[in-house]
Every structure is written in C-alpha cells, then in structure tokens.
Structure 1
Amino acid sequence: MHSCDAFNKYVLKRSSLLKRSSLLKRSSLPSHKIHINDSSGSIRVLRIIARLNVGGPSIHTSLLSQGLAPLGYETLLVAGQVGEDEGDMSYYARSRGVHPFYLESLGREIDPSRDLRSLLSIMAIIRRFRPHIVHTHTAKAGFIGRLAAILTGVPVVVHTFHGHVFHSYFSPLKTGMFIGIEKRLAGFTKAILTVGQRQRSEILGYGIGDSRKVISIPLGFDFDDLVTAPGGGAELRASLGIPQSATLAGIVARMVPVKDHELFLRSARIASDLSPELHFLMVGDGELRPALEKLVVELDLSDKVHFCGWRNDLGTVYSALDMAVLTSRNEGLPVTLIESLASGVPVVSIDVGGVRDIVDHNVTGFVSQTRDPAETGEYIAALANDRSMASLFGNEGFIRARKSFSSERLIGDIDLLYRRLLLENGCSAPVPASVSAPAPAPVAVSVSANFSSEANR
C-alpha cells in the first residue's frame, strides 16, 4: 500500500505524545474498535461532521461515505451528538449501510472542556485509522477536525462549507472571531469546498482562502429516496385534516431564528386573503415552535396552518405539497428547494445564499428580492391561483434538479478532487486491483477515546 512517508513519520512522532496525554487517559468511556483494511489498498478518508441532524450535511456525508466505497475508498464517519430540539437523521446513514462513530463530547455549542476532549479523541482516531484525507463538514467539526488533522500531520485536509455563520447567527464580535479562525485554518486546508457558486463568492468575499483553493461542488442526491407509495400525499393530508382540494404550501425547516418562520406565517396571512383555499404545512420542530403556534393564533390562521413535526418520509411530504416555501435569513444551498423541485413541486423563496443556483425566477418558481411578507405572500397566491403555471414550473424544476444535483455527479466530482489533491501533496492514490472484489478481513485497532459506537449510542 502506498502512503506519504512524511505523514507516517509524523504520526509515529505524535503517537508517543498522545500516549502521555493525561486528558486522554482520563476518558471514562470503554474502548471501541476501528477496523482498517490494511491490505486492501484503499484510500482512507476520515469524514467528520458536528452532528447528523436533519439537513443537507447529513445526507451529503452519508451519500459520500457509501458512494465512494466502490471507487476504492474506505471511509470512517465521525459525528457528534444531535441536540434535544433537533431532528435526528442518523437513520439515513444507517439506511446507506454507514455506521458512524459518535463522539459524545462533540456538540454544536462552544464548550472549551468538551471541545478539548473532542480534539484529543479525533487525534487518537487519526493515529489509529491513519487517513490519507481528513474531510470536515460544518463549522464546529471543521474547526476541531482540521486542527486535529494539522497537529497529526495528515497530508490532505479538506473542508466543506454547507452554509456559514458569518451573518444572522452571532454578534459582530463573535462573528469576526469566527471569520479570523477560518482565515487561519484556510492556510492549512488543501481545498475549501462550497455547495454553490454564490456561496463560493461569499466565502472569498470574507477573505477566506483564494480563488484556486475555494472550489464549488454542488450537492448531490439519490432521488430514489423521494419515491413514495401511491396515495401517500393524500393520506398525509387526511391525517392532518387538510382538504384534498386545498392548495397546500409547505416549509421544511428547523424552527430556529435563522429560518424566519415568522416571515412565512405573515406571508401566509396575506396569501390566504388572496387565495382562500390555501392551507400551510410546517414540517420540523425546534425552540421556536411554541412562539410560532402562538403567532398562528394571533394571525387567525389556526384552521389553515398545520404542524406535523419531523418526518422521515419526505417523499410523502413533497407529494402532498403544491408548493414549497423558504424564508431563511442565511442559507448555503437549500436542500428543501432541491428536493421540492426534484419532486416536481414549484417553489417560492427569499433570495438568500445559493437559492439562485437552484431556482430560476419565473421558470421553476418565484424568488423574492425583499423580506416583505407582501411580496412573498403574493407569489404564494399567484401559484395557488394559476395551477397551469404551477404545473409548468414544477415540470421544469423536475428536469433541471435531477440533471444538476445527482449523487453520481457529486461522487465523481469528489473522487477526482481527492485523487488530484493526493498527487499534488506527494501521496500516491492507491487503486485496488479490483474494487468489486470482497475486501480482506479487517485489522481491528482499539481506540481509547471519548466516543461511542452506534451499538452503544
């Protein structure tokens, strides 16, 4: 098997340092095993994500972990803990045959003690798994995972911005600190990926990386996941008391401030006045749900707005909808819009993040240029009142989304990138003699670190 000599020497040097780490030795969790197919000739990728909550990053990391295997990759997916008020999407990884290792110390919130334990744990995993590539996803995992990779000398470090937290999340002081950290980390990162061209322009505009290092690779999806049993949408409507004849507009999002459900509801009030047969479906949950339920009453929409919590069967959700709506203040490449269009459902969205990379205004949906509820509400009503236009938008969106955002394209793009980066950084890209042949029996390596296997989750 080929590898980087410098990388191997650095790992050996760091191994003795980690053995002397008192914090690592104090880990109270039992040891678990990481399996390495040492004789398989695979390219080993350590993929790290802060948590497998509902959203695009969970789908993305699961698809890549599964889809790259036939091309000669062995991936270990490491994930943190999903918050109590977040939807858990670990089921999607399992459905793909991906079994993550869960770091109990890794979470969304900043916690110096837990974050240090996460750093040491990931360094220990790197020492055992010996990845050729560390690829991090989302902000928290991007910071801790890349720092661990830098400290252990991993030859190729990649980070994907699925969105960013540089506005609409934190105070100006904290935001400036995060931008400064990203600028420093960019110097040690071989490739910085964005999920769309507009997001790439944003990241470069913040002074993070350079035009050669920052690369746009759009998301990809297995659209077979959206296939649903005939009548599924009608059954969902019936279960929620939504008339089959109603025009149904829906929003699929975490109920948190950045998603701005208040704008959705105020737009719904205006749209309902213009198109009385409209009903509205809110898919998701979160900290703001009680406040949103109160706002529904205040807006006199109690008989029109339906909350259904998190759902695993999004194909059924989209088959029930006549249009999807997005009102976020900050987005990367909104997954719900791609899934909606790929289901033949037209969309109404605020112009935010990479929306324009997905939606062609007046062709596959409407894009509001302001955050005025009147504009968004009028667009919703326009689709409701002109079913022929809505059908045309949906059909065009179906064709475009399935062409541009396939999982096959994503996996091919990432494979080419990984192999180029390995060659540029002095590491041969091993290619198994037959990627379709059964892999040799793995070598079990015990790791004492603060993480748990799926069986102990």
Structure 2
Amino acid sequence: MQKKRILYLITRSEPGGAQSHVLELLKGFKDQYELVLATGEEGFLLDEAMNLGIRTYLIANLQRNLSPTRDYKAYKEIVSVLKESKPDLIHCHSSKAGILGRLAAHRLGIKTVFTAHGWSFAEGTPLSRKLIGLLPERLLACWTNCIITVSDTDRDLAIRYRIGRPERIVTIHNGITDQALPTVNKDNARPITLIMVARFAAPKYYAQLIDAAATIKANFRLRLVGNGPLLEQMKKRAEELNLSDIVEFLGSRDDVDALLADSDVFILVSDWEGFPISILEAMRAGLPVIACDVGGIHEAITDRTNGRLVPRGEIAGLKLAMQELINDKALRLEMGTQARQQFEQLFTTNIMLKKIEAIYRSLEVNALYARV
C-alpha cells in the first residue's frame, strides 16, 4: 500500500520551538508517511531533515517580515512546490507559512492542517501585529481542515476571536523525546545556577531578567543561552549594572541538555508565548521553572508545585521567585521532581504523535475535520 505524502511548511529554519516541534514530527512519522519539508531558509531544520533522508525544498522568498512583493513570489513558489511534490496533505507551521501555504493548498484542492505556535493577536502582542494577523486567520480558517493549537489557552483565544468553527480547533500540547541526561555532581560550594534558553528577540524579555538579577544579593550565576538582534544590547545592559561576574552570555549552543543538567533553576521571561518547548526541556531535566504567566505556560507549570509563575512585566515578582529558589535547596529539589513527573505523564513525543496521527487519519477517511 502506497504511503500518504505529507508536506510540512515552515518559515524559518533556525533553532527554535516551532522548528524543534517540526523535527519531532519528521522523526516520528518518517516510517509511516512519505514526508517532504519546505522552508524559507537554510539552517538547522533543513539540515536535520536532509540528514534524515527527507526530501526538502527551499522557498527563497518565504520570510517572516511583511513584504507584498516577496510574499506574492513566495506564494507562487509554494504553488510550484505543491504541484511538483503532490502531497496528500500540507501541514503548515508559523504565521507566514500558514497564510501562504493554506492559500496555495486551497487553490490546488489539497487538505490542510495548521499548527498555531501562538497567535499574533495573543495578549501582550503589539496592536499592529494583532491587526495584521487577525483578518487573514479568520478568512483562512474557512479553508483549513483542522487547526491545532498548542495550548487550551490558544484554543480559547481562537474561539473568542472567531477563528473558524470550534469543532475544527484541537489542542495538542507540544511534546519532546525523553532521554537520559548527563549526570552532574553539583558541588554545594558553587553558585546556584539559573539558566534561560531563548532567542534574544521579542517576545523574550531579557531586559527584565537582567534588571531583576541586579537587585539580588546571593551566591548565584545567570546563564543566558541564545543569539539574536538584542544580544549586544543585553550584554551592554549587564555590564552597566555591574553584572559581568554573574551573567554569562553563552551564545547559541548545541549542548543545551548538558547545560540544563548543570543548572538548578530554569527561567523564561516573555511578553507572550504559545506553549514553549524550552520549558518542557527544563521539566525533562528535572528543573523547577520560573516563568511569566502568559499563553499556555500555566498548563505546564503550576505555581508553587513545579515552579513559580509571575505576572508579565512585574520585576518585583520575578525577583522574589528567583530569591526564593536560590535560597531554598529543598524547595528546588521538590519542585524539580514534580516537574519531571509531569513531563513524563503529559509531554512526551509519543503522546503528541498519537494525537496528531489521529487527525491525519481522520482526514484520510473524510471524517469531521475533512469537511471544509
């Protein structure tokens, strides 16, 4: 029996949450389906797909920024790729790829699934971003067989803003592969290690984290992992606040698992989120998590159980949460154990793949989600 062909379309190929998610799908479904990947740039995801032996396409004009001329060219490129690859289903990820991919699929009569890794109209996003994103999502929902949201919060938001019919919107939390992590002997004499792994760009709010760190008097270090347009600005801010001996800027790393294993607390400070994979990686490592209570984060982190949730933009609350976990080893260990247990129960790749495959199969048999 011939395998069904699925084409995954995503705008960026750089390391990130959505890209890691697509990579999990490529690894998980490559034996069951004939997979194709199309993306707007070379880099991490495209390289990983080629290493898996998956057919790839580069959509040269597919970019994140709004550009009517390039967007139209990207749309034409996507139509051409779909005509050549002839997928049974296109599964789009990220806003721009979701818009152009669904337009092209509708033109060619191809079934579509769209995973929203956070909405452009979520609370905390700029007004201009909301206005640009809302109307296309409403229109394209009519041509989408199934919309997957990565959190119940995002599903509720879609329904509130009338993005498609509720019965076609399904929550499937992100999942990551469980694995044995490096064993690290954490010397009690060393500084307590806090770590944040994220790109230095919106919606991440590194400035708030650095400002909070400047007010804490304790034996700790703060490791910041990632690159991005705000990196140099944050380095300067840390230097101005005399934090050069406390804050370490580690850049982009391929040993994040080892860094997490050598850490005591994970932090994610953001203005908005969908359901960040970085938090799941921290939970897998058995770390307590401090995060802003935005998007679907509260669906993974329960305040005072496996971490601390702080209001977005509140430096005082962030400082108190950091101080509490820096000073209380027993609490860190208790919350870390709870985080690990919740990861095992809810957020592994196998759990996620089973739910997504159920949607693929429902489309094959022309079930509910196939009626557009």
Q: Structure 1 length as normaliser, TM-score?
A: 0.76
Change (3 A) 1:171 1:246: closer
Is 1:392 aligned with 2:347? no
SS at match of 2:194: strand
Identify unmatched segments of 5+ residues in structure 1: 1-39, 238-242, 429-457
Is 1:353 aligned with 2:295? yes
**What is the aligned-residue identity percentage?**
26
What is the aligned counterpart of 1:256 among 201, 222, 232?
201
- Which residue in the other structure is 1:136 paired with? 92
What is the aligned counterpart of 1:70 among 24, 31, 47?
31
For structure 1, which segment, 116-125 or 349-358, has the greater mean C-alpha deviation from structure 2 after superposition? 116-125
In the TM superposition, what whole-angstrom CA distance separates every residue of 1:352-380 from its partner, at most 9, and x where no partner exists?
A: 01111110111100101352211111111
For structure 1, which segment, 47-56 or 322-331, has the greater mean C-alpha deviation from structure 2 after superposition? 47-56
Identify unmatched segments of 5+ residues in structure 2: none
- Which residue in the other structure is 1:367 paired with? 309
- Which residue in the other structure is 2:116 paired with? 161
Aligned partners of 1:375 and 1:251: how far apart in 2? 17
Q: Which one has the largest radius of gyration? A: 1
Larger RCO, structures 1/2 (Cα 8 Å, 6+ apart): 1
Task: Report matched runs for 1:152-231 at 5 Å.
Answer: 152-154=108-110, 156-167=111-122, 172-224=127-179, 227-231=180-184
Task: Report matched runs for 1:53-452 at 5 Å.
Answer: 53-71=14-32, 73-81=33-41, 88-94=44-50, 96-98=52-54, 100-154=56-110, 156-167=111-122, 172-224=127-179, 227-231=180-184, 245-270=190-215, 272-273=216-217, 276-424=218-366
In the TM superposition, what whole-angstrom CA distance separates every residue of 1:386-419 from its partner, at most 9, and x where no partner exists?
A: 1011001101111111221111111111111111
For structure 1, which segment, 89-98 or 314-323, has the greater mean C-alpha deviation from structure 2 after superposition? 89-98
Aligned partners of 1:42 and 1:159: how far apart in 2? 21
Number of aligned residue pairs: give it.
370
Change (3 A) 1:95 1:385: farther
For structure 1, which segment, 417-426 or 214-223, has the greater mean C-alpha deviation from structure 2 after superposition? 417-426
Aligned partners of 1:322 and 1:91: how far apart in 2? 32
Is 1:45 aligned with 2:6? yes
Aligned partners of 1:358 and 1:254: how far apart in 2? 21
CA RMSD of aligned residues (A): 2.4
Aligned partners of 2:207 and 2:57: how far apart in 1? 37
- Does structure 2 conserve the Cα–Cα contact (< 8 Å) formed by 1:168 and 1:258? no
- Does structure 2 conserve the Cα–Cα contact (< 8 Å) formed by 1:59 and 1:92? no
Q: Structure 2 length as normaliser, TM-score?
A: 0.93
For structure 1, which segment, 294-303 or 328-337, has the greater mean C-alpha deviation from structure 2 after superposition? 294-303
Aligned partners of 2:85 and 2:176: how far apart in 1? 28
SS at match of 1:223: coil
Aligned-pair distance for 1:323?
0.5
AA aligned opposite 2:130: T
Aligned partners of 1:249 and 1:192: how far apart in 2? 36
